[in-house]
């Protein structure tokens, strides 16, 4: 039993006793500074939860409410927290880690709250209802108050005291200007910082229309991707977490894939200018991402080498140092005029519909027709390559198969809204599984190569234990790759065999 009501503006905390009667037992009011925390892509809010860092009387605590009606988790904090994994081992850490994974907890809103807690007792002295009255002033990113303060009262009734709860809520609702709390404080606080809950997602959520021309659909896909690029720039530079760079790179790759595969839709002379620039963006960010992946895998690597885990510490240091340098390159690149003019020029190109040139051959084709044709072609290419592979194909061939798979996956993701969800989703899922295996095989290939490079580093010269642990790691990675090869052999036939083929044919036509 829970209700949250917005109170009239003119009320202050002293009114509490007046509303709920003299039986209430109220604590003294406290001033609390609230920082709403969430990941850049709103993983906590979209799960229905709310995480705040609250400072009151000089003490700091993390408060998490999961939205299920369970009482909040409250964890005293010594300093601020950026990653869930930094918290002490606890139910709260497990909950947060499963929600936010490797994403950083960022401040998405702030307010200053006058809070008074109270409770109604039963005649026997038991707690019947918990009350919390809050008057919040929303602060913008520079800490200045914005708008009028907002007062809310939260009422939580305990089992067995339904009547007490009901009559209290009724009395509160009967008051003029009391309203149910429609817009949460968190939404308002986020808005004061120019954010909206759910305004960013790393998923490509495009709603295309079958009747659209290929040109208008492609422009809208590319604009969305440009939006993703722009959204992540600040986070990459600030290095909040590794996912900003990851999302930035995925948007770059998707852009490049769209341009490479959907030729003849946009004016070719313009593309000639931008394609090399997006390639530059890819190579600018490659080294940093490789090292990020290495560091993200480090826990797994330590587990692979068992009791030699501690000996990997010097390797980690080498990678961290190198990653810092690589990040420096990325930051410098993103601050160049070249990058700025790429974004601006690309935006102008996508917005410019001036038809002062011959329209490209595919521009006015219906998008679904073009999409189906391209998906068919990409599927056939990947299928053919996969089927031609022998018993234990060379890694280079598997790498090419992975690239084919990426192209197909991007096409499916761009155009999924044009097809029946129940039909296209299983294909996306199947391909994802296949790509995870191929990606895993490729990761091992890259990691083994890097391991050999690192082993020659001056910093590790003479560090026998570290080098031996790296040797063990290389061996363990080889075993992982062998297992992945077996997985591939069992998954690929479902994709390329008669059943897979007929699913692609029936959805995307063809069979010619």
Partner 1 sequence: MRTLAIWSIKGGVGKTAAAVNIGHAASLGGTRTLLWDLDPQGAASFYLRVPAQLEGGARVLVDHTTDLGWHARPTEFDNLSLLPADFSFRRLDLELDATKKPRKQIARRLEPLAPRFDLVIMDCPPSVSLVSEAVVRAADAVLVPVIPSTLSIRTLEQIRAFVAEQGHGRTELLPFLSMVDRRKAMHLELCESCLADATFLRTVIPSASVVERMGLTRAPVAATQPSQPVAVAFAALWQEIASKLRVSQ
Among 36, 45, 50, 73, binds partner 1 (CB under 8 A): 73
Instruction: Tally Cβ neighbours within 10 Å of residue 438.
Output: 24
Q: Least CB distance from residue 35 to partner 1, whole Å?
A: 18
The answer to whether 45 and 186 have CB atoms below 8 angstroms apart is yes
> Applying CB under 8 A, does 78 fall inside the site for partner 1?
no
Among 18, 58, 88, 390, binds partner 1 (CB under 8 A): 88
Binding map of partner 1 across residues 323-362, x = CB under 8 A, - = no contact: ----------------------------------------
Q: Least CB distance from residue 88 to partner 1, whole Å?
A: 3
Q: Least CB distance from residue 47 to partner 1, whole Å?
A: 15
Q: In terms of CB distance, is 71 or 462 closer to partner 1?
A: 71
Q: How far apart are CA 171 and CA 54, in angstroms?
A: 31
Q: Least CB distance from residue 28 to partner 1, whole Å?
A: 14
φ/ψ of residue 218, rounded to 5: -65, -40
Binding map of partner 1 across residues 143-172, x = CB under 8 A, - = no contact: -------------x-xxx------------
The answer to whether 190 and 36 have CB atoms below 8 angstroms apart is yes
The answer to whether 117 and 27 have CB atoms below 8 angstroms apart is yes
The answer to whether 71 and 86 have CB atoms below 8 angstroms apart is no
Residue of 316, 335, 301 whose CA lies nearest to 454: 316
> Applying CB under 8 A, does 57 fall inside the site for partner 1?
no
> Applying CB under 8 A, does 127 fall inside the site for partner 1?
yes
Q: In terms of CB distance, is 119 or 193 closer to partner 1?
A: 119
Cα–Cα distance list, 207 to 226, 235, 236, 266 (Å): 16, 27, 28, 20
DSSP 9: T
Token pair in block for residue 317: 């240091």
φ/ψ of residue 134, rounded to 5: -130, 135
Q: Least CB distance from residue 240 to partner 1, whole Å?
A: 25
Residue of 161, 175, 74, 173 whose CA lies nearest to 119: 161
Rg value, the chain, Cα: 28
> Applying CB under 8 A, does 58 fall inside the site for partner 1?
no
Among 18, 58, 123, 125, binds partner 1 (CB under 8 A): 125
Among 15, 24, 47, 122, binds partner 1 (CB under 8 A): 122
Among 78, 91, 182, 354, binds partner 1 (CB under 8 A): 91
Q: How far apart are CA 55 and CA 35, in angstroms?
A: 9
Among 22, 70, 180, 391, binds partner 1 (CB under 8 A): 70
Token pair in block for residue 338: 């070249």
User: Residue 498 burial by CB count (10 A; 0-12/13-18/19+): exposed, middle or buried?
Assistant: exposed
Piece of 114-122, 173-181, 303-311, 395-403 that binds partner 1 (CB under 8 A): 114-122
Cα dihedral 438/441/442/448 (nearest 10) = 180
Q: In terms of CB distance, is 125 or 462 closer to partner 1?
A: 125
Piece of 86-94, 280-288, 355-363, 417-425 that binds partner 1 (CB under 8 A): 86-94
> Which phi-psi region, left, alpha or beta, contains residue 153 (left: φ > 0; alpha: ψ -120 to 50)?
beta
| Contacts of partner 1 in 479-508 (CB under 8 A) | none
Binding map of partner 1 across residues 184-203, x = CB under 8 A, - = no contact: --------------------
> Applying CB under 8 A, does 388 fall inside the site for partner 1?
no
Q: Residues with Cβ < 8 Å from 348, sequence gap 6 or more?
A: none
Q: Least CB distance from residue 162 to partner 1, whole Å?
A: 13
Among 10, 57, 89, 180, binds partner 1 (CB under 8 A): 89
Provide the binding-site residues for partner 1, judged by CB under 8 A: 61, 70-76, 88-92, 94-95, 119, 121-122, 124-127, 130, 156, 158-160
């Amino acid at each position: 039993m829970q209700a949250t009501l917005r109170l009239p503006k003119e009320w202050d905390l002293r009114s509490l006793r007046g509303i709920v009667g003299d039986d209430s037992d109220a604590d003294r009011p406290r001033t609390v500074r609230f920082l709403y925390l969430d990941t850049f892509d709103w993983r906590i809010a979209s799960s229905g939860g709310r995480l705040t860092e609250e400072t009151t009387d000089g003490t700091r605590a993390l408060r998490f409410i999961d939205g299920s009606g369970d009482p909040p988790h409250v964890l005293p904090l010594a300093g601020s927290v950026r990653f869930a994994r930094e918290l002490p081992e606890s139910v709260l850490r497990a909950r947060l880690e499963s929600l936010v994974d490797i994403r950083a907890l960022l401040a998405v809103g702030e307010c200053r709250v006058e809070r008074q807690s109270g409770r109604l007792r039963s005649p026997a002295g038991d707690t019947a209802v918990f009350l919390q009255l809050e008057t919040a002033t929303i602060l913008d990113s520079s800490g200045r108050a914005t708008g009028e303060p907002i007062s809310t009262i939260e009422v939580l009734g305990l089992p067995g005291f339904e009547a007490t709860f009901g009559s209290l809520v009724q009395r509160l609702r009967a008051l003029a200007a009391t309203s149910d709390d429609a817009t949460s404080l968190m939404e308002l606080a986020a808005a004061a910082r120019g954010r909206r809950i759910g305004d960013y997602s790393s998923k490509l959520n495009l709603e295309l229309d079958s009747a659209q021309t290929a040109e208008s659909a492609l422009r809208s896909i590319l604009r969305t991707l440009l939006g993703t690029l722009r959204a992540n720039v600040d986070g990459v530079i600030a290095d909040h977490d590794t996912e900003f760079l990851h999302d930035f790179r995925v948007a770059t790759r998707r852009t490049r894939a769209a341009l490479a595969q959907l030729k003849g839709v946009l004016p070719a002379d313009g593309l000639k200018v931008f394609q090399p620039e997006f390639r530059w963006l890819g190579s600018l960010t490659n080294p940093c991402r490789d090292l990020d992946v290495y560091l993200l895998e480090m826990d797994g690597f330590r587990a692979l080498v068992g009791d030699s885990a501690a000996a990997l510490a010097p390797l980690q240091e080498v990678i961290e140092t190198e990653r810092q340098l690589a990040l420096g390159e990325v930051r410098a690149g993103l601050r160049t005029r070249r990058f700025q003019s790429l974004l601006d020029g690309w935006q102008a190109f996508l917005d410019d519909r001036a038809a002062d040139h011959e329209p490209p051959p595919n521009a006015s084709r219906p998008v679904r027709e073009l999409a189906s044709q391209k998906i068919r072609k990409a599927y056939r290419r990947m299928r053919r390559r996969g089927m031609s592979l022998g018993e234990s194909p060379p890694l280079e061939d598997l790498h090419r198969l992975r690239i084919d798979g990426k192209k197909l996956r991007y096409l499916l993701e761009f155009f999924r809204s044009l097809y029946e969800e129940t039909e296209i989703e299983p294909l996306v899922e199947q391909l994802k599984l296949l790509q995870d295996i191929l990606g895993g095989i490729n990761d091992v290939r890259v990691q083994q190569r890097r391991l050999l490079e690192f082993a020659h580093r001056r910093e590790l010269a003479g560090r026998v234990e570290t080098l031996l642990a790296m040797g063990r790691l290389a061996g363990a990675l080889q075993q992982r790759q062998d297992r992945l090869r077996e997985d591939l052999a069992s998954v690929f036939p479902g994709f390329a065999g008669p059943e897979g083929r007929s699913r692609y044919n029936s959805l995307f036509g063809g069979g010619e």
